[in-house]
Amino acid sequence: MSDDVQDQPAAAQGEGAGAQPAEGGSVIQKKNRKPLLIGLALAVVAIAVIYFLYETFIGSRTVSTDNAYVGGETAQVTPLTAGQVAEVLVTDTQPVRKGQILFRLDDKDQRISLAQAEAQLEYATRRYGQSLANENALGAAADASATQINSAIAKQTSAQAGLARAQEDFRRRAALANSGAVSAEELTAARQALAAAQAAALEAKAAVEQARANANSSRRQEEAARALTRGTSSQTAPEVLLAKAQLATAKLALERTVVRAPVDGVVAQRAIQVGQKVEMGTVAMRIVPVGALYVDANFKEDQLGKVRSGQRAVLTSDFYGDDVEFHGKVVGFAGGTGAAFALIPAQNATGNWIKVVQRLPVRIELDPMELKEHPLRIGLSMEAEIDLTSKD
């Protein structure tokens, strides 16, 4: 009897154990496990197929990045002459057109320099006229010297004739001196006349040589004077051209006191005030050409294998949101990564090295018409997507 009583609780416990799983057992019945595993496997396969199809037909056609920023070639406005700022006509954020006056410098010094240059040109022109007159005078003097040669030759001929007569007269008297037909005084007079005639002949010969030397010197002076003006006119003479160049320089300095915008754009970083003294080359302000901006998109190095110049790109800006799309094309790649051109380049040749995926800036040119309709500013964030299948 006691054995029957002891067996009943044990049976009851056994039935309870069959109703609830033992601790650590599965809550899924064996008959439901197989369909569940098959469904899970099919889901994994489906996800893998979808990912493969996306990468093959969609993902492999484009590369994108949100590490992109608007850039532009800003124009520095620098005065090309020194002076005091007399008037500033623009301020920061103001749109300007190419050729529009930005500011003026005091031009008193430049006007004085211009007046001096004009006077110098007039003086050079008159000096050229004086040079021509001197040439003519030297030419006339050379001609006169040439005529003096003939006169000196004629005098030399006369002196030689007188010498011949004196020689003949002295010869006859010397022959009669021994016979007593000629007195000693007459012979002495004849000898003196011969000496005088000889001296006159020598003087006449020297006069001819002097006349020829004078004529040669006058001709050389004429040639030297004509060398300064040969092949020139009052408009092409060297001294006149120099004066004209100085005048042009003075005019240019006066024009440069009025500083104009070099490009279309928006004024930024204005750094001058009225009354300030500025030197040549001082940066007075900058002009941002908002109609000629570009985007530097920093793609990862493993994204650039199929990127080529000329491929089309679609860009969006946080400034306008996803509703406004900008279209552009790849125009080039940077010469190195950002880390390569950093002030302190990364030193990878160390014992503890961790590979970091680098980014290379890609320049994307924007459509000017779209920029005109939706202006951007330098430094704005962009999202860029390049179509790898497109061609220029």
Query: Rounded to an integer, what distance in angstroms lies between the CA atom of residue 220 and that of residue 226?
Result: 10
Check pLDDT > 80 for residue 369: yes
Per-residue pLDDT at 55: 62
222: left (phi > 0), else alpha (psi -120 to 50), else beta? Answer: alpha
Give the per-residue SS3 of 40-109: HHHHHHHHHHHHHHHHHHCHHHEEEEEEEEEECCCEEECCCCCEEEEEECCCCCCEECCCCEEEEECCHH
Q: Is the pLDDT of residue 372 over 80?
A: yes
Using left for φ > 0, alpha for ψ between -120 and 50, and beta otherwise, residue 259 falls in beta
User: Quick one: DSSP state of residue 180?
Assistant: T
Select the more confidently predicted residue: 204 or 380: 380
> What is the distance between the alpha carbons of residues 234 and 257, in angstroms, rounded to a whole number?
32
pLDDT tens digits along 51-82: 776 666 555 688 899 999 999 989 999 999 99
Best CA proximity match to 328, nearest among 3, 9, 14, 68:
68
First-to-final CA distance of the chain: 101
> Is residue 24 over pLDDT 90?
no
Q: Could you report the per-residue pLDDT of 258-275, keeping only the tens digit for each? A: 999 999 999 999 999 999
Contacts of 113-120 with C-beta under 8 Å, sequence gap 24+, read: 113/250, 113/253, 113/254, 114/247, 114/250, 114/251, 114/253, 114/254, 116/250, 117/243, 117/246, 117/247, 117/249, 117/250, 117/251, 118/247, 118/250, 120/243, 120/246, 120/247
Question: In whole numbers, what is the pLDDT of the chain averaged over residues?
Answer: 82
The radius of gyration of the chain's CA atoms, rounded to the nearest angstrom, is 55
Residue 6 tokens read as 């002891």
Sign of the torsion angle spanned by Cα atoms 269, 273, 276, 281? positive
Cα(111)–Cα(19) distance, integer angstroms: 113
Percent of the chain with pLDDT over 70: 85
Distance CA 187, CA 167 (A): 12
Report the DSSP pairing between strands 101-105 and 75-77: unpaired
Q: What domains appear along the chain, each with residue ranges and CATH number? A: 63-73+288-387 (2.40.30.170), 75-107+255-287 (2.40.50.100), 110-252 (1.10.287)
Burial class (CB in 10 A: 0-12, 13-18, 19+), 239: middle
What pLDDT score does 39 carry? 79
334 or 224, greater pLDDT: 334
Q: Is the pLDDT of residue 19 over 50?
A: no
pTM value is 0.62
Q: What is the pLDDT of residue 1?
A: 41
